[in-house]
């Protein structure tokens, strides 16, 4: 598996200095002149087959200034806090050094700080390294008066982009054509992203389908974003609501699943409209509605290259993204060290084919309930019925794998206090959120989100751009 979001990888992805994906394109960039050629390329680059060996995690945090939590993100304070670990997207002259245990630091468009682990061989090593690097990162932030937030959406501030990169400017304008939610997703949300090896060609269909089938269960159980931009939205995961609505062609989960993930993923990549197009000068805006397949067919002045296709893949944000490895993107950012729990659950359930098959059987009945999971969490009866057995399976598997005892203890506590009681982190209000407590059926809380059936009409959160 390629290093998840390493410094070089992420800088190339964000700035367009070179292609973002590890793989054949880094050795040789070629023009693409047919759909079949592009489909074969996507399959070869996005799915690196082999026995599962490595895993990684990417963690994001919203950062507030302690004295002025409602103030916009402060670039200077963030740069000072990160010091030699600052990414070049924030400080062009930075050496962008990894943290002591090998994790790299990046900054998202709205000032969210992200830590990306190196790929490691087992859960214990991953948790030990990431815990140490996260503690060092948070210490640096605190020393400059910056605090990390326990929720996955910004409870106070409107979405404000602080990175003036052509990629993000073009993305923002493209998302704005669909409504306010893409800007919020870019600038005001955080996630726990778990990176897993693709596995062998024979194992891939089961691993791919299981990761998607588990999505609504884990999204609901770890939903942690009930407040956004100064109001309660009526969703347990306002973060996922943002991304489902931002641009469904590139953010909605695939449906239906099939036994050929490589062909399905290639078809989706090529049929998705361009979000941005790298240029040497001028804005990176893409013509509205032009897909990568259209580009191959001659919709743009010059034919695309494999590097352009690599970059296009980096602008798709579905719940699971094939990127050389499988990047699971559907879990809300968690408070404190709770990021280890969804990571452990996914590692456990994907550890052995027989466990993965059982996880699929347990979660398949609710595989399509993404909107219900984001809105209701474990208050959805069908998802709650699946969640208990899924989490028990994960816990028993992790015991057999000799997972770290503190993680097992925390997971067992979560199962008892939340999962088996139909609760998720969003159901436990923080003291700072009590200002926004209102009855759940308050019509002001019916915040709209797009589904495959069309829009659910609702009010726009305060502070969101029209």
- Please report, rounded to a whole number, the percentage of residues in the chain having pLDDT higher than 70: 87
The whole-number average pLDDT for the span 17-24 is: 32
Report the predicted TM-score, pTM, of the whole model to 2 decimal places: 0.89
Please tell me the predicted confidence (pLDDT) of residue 246: 95
Look at residue 67 and tell me whether its pLDDT is greater than 60.
yes
Domain residue ranges of the chain, discontinuous segments joined by +: 7-335
Please report which confidence band the pLDDT of residue 442 belongs to, taking 50, 70 and 90 as the band edges.
very low
Give the lowest-confidence range in 3-12, 55-64, 261-270. 3-12
Please tell me the predicted confidence (pLDDT) of residue 1: 39
Q: Name the pairing type of β-strands 326-332 and 450-451.
A: unpaired
Please report which confidence band the pLDDT of residue 451 belongs to, taking 50, 70 and 90 as the band edges.
very low
For domain 7-335, say whether CATH 3.40.50.300 is its number. Answer: no
Please report which confidence band the pLDDT of residue 450 belongs to, taking 50, 70 and 90 as the band edges.
very low
Look at residue 8 and tell me whether its pLDDT is greater than 70.
no
Burial class (CB in 10 A: 0-12, 13-18, 19+), 434: exposed
Report which listed range, 9-18, 62-71, 73-82, 441-450, is most confident: 73-82
Half-sphere exposure in the Cβ direction for 96 (13 Å, CA): 20
The whole-number average pLDDT for the span 26-43 is: 89
Tokens (6 digits) for 441: 């059926």
The whole-number average pLDDT for the span 66-71 is: 86
Q: What is the pLDDT of residues 198-253, one digit of tens each?
A: 999 999 999 999 999 999 999 999 999 999 998 999 999 999 999 999 999 999 99
Average confidence score pLDDT of the chain: 88
Please tell me the predicted confidence (pLDDT) of residue 436: 53
C-alpha of 392 from chain center: 25
Written in H, E and C, the secondary structure of the chain is CCCCCCHHHHHHHHHCCCCCCCCHHHCCCCECCCHHHHHHHHHHHHECCCCCCCEEEEEEECEEECCCCCCCCCHHHHHHHHHHHCCCCCCCCCCCCCCCCCCEEEECCCCCEEEECCCECCHHHHHHHHHHHHHHHHHHHHHCCEEECCCCECCCCCCCCCCCCHHHHHHHHHHHCCCCHHHHHHHHECEEEEEECCCCCCCHHHHHHHHHHHHHHHHHHCCCECEECCEECCCCEHHHHHHHHHCHHHHCCCCCCCCCHHHHHHHHHHHCECCECCCCCCCCECCCCCEHHHHHHHHCCCCCEHHHHHHHHCCCCCCEEECECEEEEEEECCCCCCCHHHHHHHHHHCCCHHHHHHHHHHHHHHCCCHHHHHHHHHHCHHHHHHHHHHHHHHHHHHHHCCCCHHHHHHHHHHHHHCHHHCCCHHHCCCHHHHHHCCCCCCHHHCECCEECCEECCCECCCCCCC
Look at residue 261 and tell me whether its pLDDT is greater than 90.
yes
Q: What is the pLDDT of residues 184-193, one digit of tens each?
A: 999 999 999 9
């Amino acid at each position: 598996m390629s290093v998840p979001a390493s410094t070089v990888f992420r800088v190339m992805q964000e700035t367009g200095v070179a292609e973002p994906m590890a793989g054949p394109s880094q050795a040789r960039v070629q023009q693409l002149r047919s759909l079949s050629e592009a489909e074969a390329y996507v399959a070869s680059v996005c799915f690196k087959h082999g026995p599962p060996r490595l895993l990684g995690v990417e963690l994001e945090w919203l950062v507030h200034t302690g004295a002025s939590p409602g103030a916009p993100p402060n670039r200077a304070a963030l740069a000072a806090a990160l010091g030699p670990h600052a990414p070049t997207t924030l400080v062009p002259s930075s050496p962008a050094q990894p943290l002591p245990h090998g994790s790299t630091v990046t900054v998202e468009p709205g000032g969210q700080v992200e830590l990306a682990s190196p790929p490691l061989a087992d859960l214990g090593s991953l948790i030990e390294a990431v815990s140490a690097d996260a503690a060092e990162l948070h210490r640096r932030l605190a020393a400059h008066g910056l605090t990390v937030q326990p929720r996955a959406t910004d409870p106070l501030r409107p979405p404000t982009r602080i990175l003036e990169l052509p990629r993000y400017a073009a993305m923002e304008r493209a998302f704005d054509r669909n409504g306010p939610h893409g800007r919020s997703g870019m600038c005001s949300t955080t996630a726990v992203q778990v990176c897993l090896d693709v596995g062998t060609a024979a194992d891939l269909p089961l691993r791919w389908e299981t990761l998607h089938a588990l999505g609504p269960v884990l999204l609901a159980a770890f939903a942690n974003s009930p407040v956004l931009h100064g109001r309660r939205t009526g969703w347990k995961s306002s973060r996922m609501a943002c991304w489902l609505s931002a641009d469904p062609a590139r953010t909605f989960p695939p449906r239906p699943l099939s036994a050929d993930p490589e062909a399905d993923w290639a078809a989706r990549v090529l049929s998705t409209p361009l979000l941005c197009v790298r240029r040497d000068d001028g804005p990176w805006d893409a013509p509205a509605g032009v897909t990568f397949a259209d580009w191959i067919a001659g919709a743009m002045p010059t034919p695309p290259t494999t590097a352009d296709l690599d970059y296009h893949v980096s602008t798709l944000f579905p719940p699971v993204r094939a990127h050389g490895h499988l990047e699971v993107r559907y879990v809300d950012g968690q408070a404190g060290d709770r990021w280890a729990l969804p990571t452990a659950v996914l590692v456990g359930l994907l550890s052995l084919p027989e466990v993965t098959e059982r996880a699929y059987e347990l979660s398949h009945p609710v595989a399509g309930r993404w909107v219900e999971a984001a809105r209701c969490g474990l208050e959805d009866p069908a998802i709650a019925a699946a969640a208990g057995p899924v989490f028990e399976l994960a816990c028993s598997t992790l015991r057999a794998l000799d997972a770290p005892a503190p993680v097992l203890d925390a997971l067992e506590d979560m199962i008892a206090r939340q999962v088996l009681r139909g609760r998720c982190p969003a159901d436990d209000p923080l003291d700072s959120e009590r200002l926004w407590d209102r009855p759940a059926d308050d019509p002001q809380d019916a915040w709209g989100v797009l589904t495959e059936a069309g829009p659910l009409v609702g009010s726009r959160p305060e502070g969101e751009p029209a």
